[in-house]
Structures are given as C-alpha cells and as structure tokens.
Homo-oligomer: A and B are copies of this chain.
C-alpha cells in the first residue's frame, strides 16, 4: 500500500489552496512522454495495474493528517482541511488508459485522469513514478528481446536496481516487454512468471575443485542445473564438466569474449555428444551486444540481462509528464482547455484520444485528437475507460497474457520502426485539425 504522503509537497499545498478557494471543480490531467529517448523509436506502456491499485486505495491515515497539519507551511490552513477534507479524501475520478503492453509514441497520453482538481493533482507524483519507470523498462525489454531474435532473454537485474521494490517492478515490466523470466524469486511469486537461476561463482569457489562443485550441484538439480564455467578458466571448466560424466542441460558464460568462448565451448560439448546442452550468456549485455553476438553467429541459446533492464542504463528516465489540459466551471460552466507556454514545454489543450490506423495488418500511423471529436474512419481508439468514479473497470490481467498481447502489438509495427537503430520520429504521429485549432485559440487567448 502506497502512503498518500508519497507525493510532492506542492500537491498538498495546492490541494489546500484549491479547497480554500472552493475551486474543487473537475479537471483533467494527461500523462505522456514529451520526447522519446534518442535510441528509442517506440515505447511500450506498463505499470497501469499498479497505478490503478494505488488510486483505488488512496487515503490518509490519522497519523499522516496529524503530521501534516503540524508542518510550519500549513500553519494558516484551516483545521477543517485536515479534519474533514483529507479525512474523507478518496480518489473518486475517472481514468482512461492504454492497455499495458501497447506501443506508444511521444505526446500520446498513456493515461488521462479526470477528477476534482485536488484529487487529480495529488496523484501526479506516484502515477509518474509508477508508470514511467515500468514503461521505460518494458520498452527496453522489447528492444533486447528483438535483438535476441527468438533466443530466450531472462531478466537478471535485481541487484543493480534502484532498491528492491524497483527490482520487482523491473522484473514485471521486463516480462511484459518480452522476457521469458526473471531471477527475482519474489517477482516470480507475485506476478506468476518463471524464475530462473542456478549457481554463482561463489558456489564454484566454495569447493576444492570445479569438478567437486559441479557434481555436488547435480545431486539436487540435475535437471535444471546451469553450470557456470568462467570462475577460473572457461575452457578448462568445460572440459572438466564433460569429463565428470554429467549430462548438463545448460552451461553459462559470464565474462571474456563471449563469441569466441561460446564457439569453443560448443565444440567441446559437441565432441562429447552433449549436443543438447545449451549455452547461456550473461555479463553486462544489452541489445547492441546481443545483436552483435547474434549477427556473428555465436552459438548462444539464451541471454541473461541485468543492469540494462533493471536500470534502463542508456535512458534511465523518460521525459514523462502529467499535465493539466482542462478545467471545468471557471466562470462559465463549460470545459476550458488550458495550455502551458513555457519554452520547450508547451502543452496541447483539452481531453485527448489516440487513434491508430492499420493498413494490411500493420500500424500505419497515429492521430492524436480531441476526445470528443468524431473518431476518424478506420482509427482504433487506444485510450479506454479504466476507472469510473474511483472504481476499477478492468481487472488485473495475468502477466503471461499481457506479454502475449504486447508481442502481438509490437508485431504490428512496421519493420523499420522496430529496427534497433530507427530514429525516434520514424513513426508518423499527427495532431488532428481540431486539436491544432484548439491550441491556436488557447495560445491566442493567453497572448491577449
């Protein structure tokens, strides 16, 4: 359960301000990514399940309210704000969202939240932290899985993650993005995905000889064992393993020239009739190193990827934002689209929808339009109702199902969009005419 205080202080000062000004009118915020990182041509949404869970359970404990009212900043805020308003505070708004595992592009809302201003505002911080991190990991996983071209990719990054909860979220998002499993046991248990892993170098070091270590391990794990070969000398270890008489299901290489070593180990295994023994490679891998190994024809059957997945090391943050796009009931009773004109941070007014156009089974381009404009012919609406009046409309989807949906969605992207070196604006995304008009009007209104 995420504490209601897991938010930036200004969300609470603004909430108090809106409450005091009796300005608790409905407002809409949208969560989107301003620009794709330089080495991404699409992102893959993830984290919606945790986001909805957070919204549904949001409330202030007595202890939290007491602590808050004692902060010096709140000295002039009337006690009713804490005793009444925050005491009964719940998220009672509506959420529209893209399904997890959907390919998404810059400026496309992943999530649209409509609620009273203070409610919609308070949840910004946690929604961004939850959704943008998982989205960034799922996107990276999709690239790595593509690079592996059908070979298994397993997420091994828990130890390098930004704390243990981050490791759990990374394992989940990696699986959505196409990984076949995780080393993190708690993630496997919680999310129902396969757990993977057998021995570390320390196992080999803890016995007098490698051969002793391998034989001892086989006593309990003969059918799932992955023997680690590089503790001292990879080829000597491979020969020792072969000589031991074990029938290893798999061996692992974790350092050195993985291309050359995998070929030599393959030869040693094959010469002893161990043709079904697979070779698994790990060690600071990412999509580029994997693509190079695959292109070189290295006989590697699967990859374990750590840091690149769990920290998204080449793009550890997305330019994800959560922006006010509409306020109702300011003077008139109609919805008013709002914009921000800060240099480089301009926004588009009003509630939006994203339509994807398919041509011969392939995604041909997206249109971002006003949520209430007529759906353009042939466009598939990507934002769907996820929560109404604070209640979830969609259940948690089992992760293997999400992963399959994600794979199908990515498969609809054109080949040149999926290429690892595709530029970040290769996929056509257009703002609808109506949205362009609305922005012009809103800017003029502001300039006036």
Contacts and interface: CB of A to CB of B under 8 A. Distances in A.
Q: How often does this chain occur in the complex, in copies? A: 2
Contacts of A317: 160, 307, 311, 313
Nearest to A2: B164
Nearest to A200: B10
A163 B166 contact: yes
A159 to B, nearest CB: 4
A269 to B, nearest CB: 20
Contacts of A324: 201-202, 205-206
Interface stretch (A12-20, A86-94, A290-298, A365-373): A12-20
Interface in A1-33: 2-3, 5-14, 16-18, 20-21, 23, 27, 29
A8 B159 contact: yes
Contacts of A231: 340-342
The main secondary structure of chain A at its interface with chain B is mixed
Contacts of A7: 158, 184-186
Contact of A9 (B12, B188, B339, B342): B188
Given A68-B185, A221-B17, A6 B206 contact: no
B163 A130 contact: yes
A285 B345 CA distance: 15
Interface in A227-266: 230-233, 254-256
Given A64-B189, A163-B130, A199-B14, A125 B158 contact: yes
Given A14-B200, A18-B206, A129-B161, A156 B8 contact: yes
B341 A221 contact: no
B342 A8 contact: no
Contacts of A380: none
A327 interface: yes
A183 B8 contact: yes
A41 interface: no
A197 B13 contact: yes
Contacts of A339: 205
Interface string A338-350: 1111111100000
A76 B221 contact: yes
Given A197-B13, A199-B10, A202-B29, A170 B162 contact: yes
A431 to B, nearest CB: 20
A406 interface: no
B185 A12 contact: yes
Contact of A5 (B16, B185, B197, B256): B185
Interface in A58-74: 64, 67-68, 71-73
A20 B341 CA distance: 66
A351 to B, nearest CB: 15
B344 A10 contact: no
A424 interface: no
Contacts of A188: 9
Interface in A153-177: 156, 158-170
Contacts of A341: 231-233
Interface stretch (A212-220, A270-278, A391-399): A212-220
Interface of A: 2-3, 5-14, 16-18, 20-21, 23, 27, 29, 64, 67-68, 71-73, 75-77, 117, 121, 124-126, 128-130, 132-133, 156, 158-170, 183-186, 188-189, 195-203, 205-208, 216-217, 219-224, 230-233, 254-256, 307, 311-313, 316-318, 320, 322-324, 327, 330-331, 338-345, 446
10 contacts: A7-B185, A7-B186, A8-B185, A9-B197, A76-B219, A129-B160, A133-B161, A133-B166, A162-B169, A232-B342
Query: Lowest 4 CB-CB distances: which A-B pairs, in order?
Result: A10-B197, A165-B165, A9-B197, A316-B316
Given A9-B198, A76-B223, A205-B339, 5 more contacts: A10-B183, A20-B219, A23-B207, A205-B338, A313-B317
